Amino acid sequence: MSDTFDVIVIGGGPAGYPAAIRAGQLGLKVACIDGWKNYDGSYAFGGTCLNAGCIPSKALLESSELVHRAEAEFATHGIKVGSVTVDIAAMQKRKAGIVKGMTQGILGLFKAAKVTALTGHGRLLADRRVEYTAVDGTVKTLSATHVVLASGSEPAALPSAPFDGVHIVDSWGALEFAAVPKRLGVIGAGVIGVELGSVWRRLGSEVTILEAMDTFLPMADQALAKEALKNFNKQGLNIRLGAKVSSAEASKSGVTVLYHDAAGEQTLEVDRLVVAIGRRPYTKDLLGDGTGVSLDARGFIVVDEHCHTPVENVWAVGDCVRGPMLAHKGKEEGVMVAERIAGHHAEVNYRAIPSVIYTAPEIAWVGQTEEEVKKSGRAYKVGSFPFLASGRARAMESTAGFCKVIAATDDDELLGVHVIGPMAGELIGEACLALEYSASTEDLQLTMHAHPTLSEALHEAALAADKKAIDFPNR
């Protein structure tokens, strides 16, 4: 193996591996270093997203939703299945197979792009040198013209509820349960908390989610958050807001959680406890002495709008830098950096980053919330369309939720799109494209949508912004 590269990427997750692949496609000599180690001792590229986050969680969400539909919905369709039994081992095996296929696929993509995959730990030294420690302990110093830091993030710990890996676990541990906990506690009602809570609730667990904040999903448009909370309560998720955990003590019989809410001190007894209070940048042993790369007060690597650190030819992308911790945001940053290294112009539109929560109903949004637009002082208009009025949603027995469009009153600029309902994560793609091209509601109004489709809800919401909706009364 050569010791010199055009680009060395430290981190093979959803920000790092796209950076390496795109740089390789552009004709650069590239190495990507990653040391992710799974519970079974195997090493894999793909980072948290492919190994312990996005992909395995979606696999379990899909499986558990099928269980719920079989139990609660099939009969409505005239399908009688009798008693439904769940084989958790088979479900976990399917999930593991999907994960393995995806992570091994990265190695195939590396080969196609002529990227050198190095399994082990990478540490940035001064003058764009990288100390590479292989899994067998061998240490080698590599050099590069450019170095891209993509070290990712890790679950944030809660001092009052320390992980023990058995009774009190992080989000990865919650994806590996071998049996359905009779009583499951979740600390944190954010994206990860409600997704994991949904999985195990559908499979039969009594789920209680404790959220310290008084507002549910504060990062989302509050019309969506209100609708989501209503649906989650119907599904049996016991979400307690304003619940601040003071301690969690594990024993052979389970976990005793003490928390305070408006009514005073409360006690919650559960069999398993998941701490899902968010994530923090992971930069452990990433930076040697004299690199010049700095961290901000929250532990993020300091970069500019193009993900360049103050050090010449040293870049950082993904969860270890500012902005939302989303795999697709990291991917776009990785590709942008590779393009810029190769001398091309490239940007990331941080105003058009979509967010998706893969519950049922799904929740997705892009652009500004109504609360943000109102705070800005800009005059705006809103159009909304319920899935109850969608023929396709009715045929699917998925009528919960709505599509909401926010636009400026003066020039009709589309400011934000918010969807809660069936396939919201897929529907938001059209809204992302619209924001990318600075579309107006009129542009959406004049775009023909196939019938019957779920995407008609976006069309009708855009029409409703000007009180021109056809399939629902204008208000």
- Strand pairing report for 254-261 and 244-251: antiparallel
Q: What are phi and psi of 423, to 5 degrees?
A: 55, 35
305-359 residue pLDDT tens: 999 999 999 999 999 999 999 999 999 999 999 999 999 999 999 999 999 999 9
Of 292, 323, 348, the last residue of a domain is 348
Mean residue pLDDT of the chain comes to: 97
Of 271, 320, 278, whose CA–CA distance to 299 is shortest?
A: 320
Residue type, position 213, single letter = M
273-285 residue pLDDT tens: 999 999 999 999 9
pTM tops 0.95, yes or no: yes
- Position 387 in a domain: yes
CATH number assigned to the domain comprising residue 227: 3.50.50.60
Asked if 248 and 205 sit in the same domain, the reply is yes
Q: What is the Cα–Cα distance from 358 to 360, expressed in whole angstroms?
A: 7
* Cα-based angle 361, 367, 373 (whole degrees, multiple of 5): 110
Q: What is the Cα–Cα distance from 2 to 171, expressed in whole angstroms?
A: 38
Q: Is 42 exposed, middle or buried (0-12, 13-18, 19+ CB in 10 A)?
A: exposed
Average pLDDT of the residues in 155-162: 97
Range of the domain at 376: 352-464
Asked if 217 and 299 sit in the same domain, the reply is no
Q: Encoding tokens for residue 223?
A: 């019309």
- Position 13 in a domain: yes
Residue type, position 328, single letter = H
Average pLDDT of the residues in 137-145: 97
Residues 11, 152: contact at Cβ < 8 Å? Answer: yes
Strands, sheet with 362-367, edge to edge from the N-terminal-most edge strand: 355-357, 362-367, 414-421, 402-408, 380-386
3-state secondary structure the chain: CCCEEEEEEECCCCCHHHHHHHHHHCCCCEEEEECCECCCCCECCCHHHHHHCHHHHHHHHHHHHHHHHHHHCHHHHCCCCCCCCCCHHHHHHHHHHHHHHHHHHHHHHHHHCCEEEEEEEEEECHHHEEEEEECCCCEEEEEEEEEEECCCEEECCCCCCCCCCCCEECHHHHCCCCCCCCEEEEECCCHHHHHHHHHHHHCCCEEEEEECCCCCCCCCCHHHHHHHHHHHHHCCCEEEECCEEEEEEEECCEEEEEEEECCEEEEEEECEEEECCCEEECCCCCECCCCCCCECCCCCECCCCCCECCCCCEEECHHHCCCCCCHHHHHHHHHHHHHHHCCCCCCCCHHHCCEEECCCCEEEEEECCHHHHHHHCCCEEEEEEEHHHCHHHHHCCCCCCEEEEEEECCCCEEEEEEEEECCHHHHHHHHHHHHHCCCEHHHHHCCCCCCCCCCHHHHHHHHHCCCCCCCCCCC
pLDDT band at 1 (very low <50, low <70, confident <90, very high): low
- Position 473 in a domain: no
Peptide bond into 310 cis (omega under 30): no
Asked if 326 and 364 sit in the same domain, the reply is no
- Position 470 in a domain: no
C-alpha separations of 414 from 315, 381, 404, 473 in Å: 33, 10, 11, 22
Residue 133: pLDDT over 70:
yes
Total domains in the chain come to 3
pLDDT band at 475 (very low <50, low <70, confident <90, very high): confident
For the annotated catalytic residues, the residue numbers are 451
Asked if 340 and 360 sit in the same domain, the reply is no
Asked if 194 and 254 sit in the same domain, the reply is yes
195-230 residue pLDDT tens: 999 999 999 999 999 999 999 999 999 999 999 999
Q: What is the Cα–Cα distance from 333 to 353, expressed in whole angstroms?
A: 12
- Position 162 in a domain: no
Asked if 33 and 82 sit in the same domain, the reply is yes
Residue type, position 13, single letter = G
Asked if 48 and 123 sit in the same domain, the reply is yes
Asked if 53 and 69 sit in the same domain, the reply is yes
219-274 residue pLDDT tens: 999 999 999 999 999 999 999 999 999 999 999 989 999 999 999 999 999 999 99
- Position 475 in a domain: no
Residue 84: pLDDT over 80:
yes
Quote the percentage of the chain above a pLDDT of 90. Answer: 99
Of 277, 294, 315, the last residue of a domain is 277
Asked if 22 and 137 sit in the same domain, the reply is yes
CATH number assigned to the domain comprising residue 401: 3.30.390.30
Residues 424, 401: contact at Cβ < 8 Å? Answer: yes
364-384 residue pLDDT tens: 999 999 999 999 999 999 999
Asked if 219 and 124 sit in the same domain, the reply is no
Asked if 146 and 63 sit in the same domain, the reply is yes
What residues are paired with 9 via a beta bridge?
Answer: 32, 148
Residue 2: pLDDT over 90:
no
Q: What is the Cα–Cα distance from 302 to 316, expressed in whole angstroms?
A: 8
Instruction: Estimate the crossing angle of helix 16-25 against helix 327-341, to 10 degrees.
Output: 30
Asked if 117 and 105 sit in the same domain, the reply is yes
392-426 residue pLDDT tens: 999 999 999 999 999 999 999 999 999 999 999 99
Q: What is the Cα–Cα distance from 203 to 88, expressed in whole angstroms?
A: 9
- Position 160 in a domain: no
Of 277, 298, 313, the last residue of a domain is 277
- Position 75 in a domain: yes
Q: What is the Cα–Cα distance from 97 to 196, expressed in whole angstroms?
A: 20
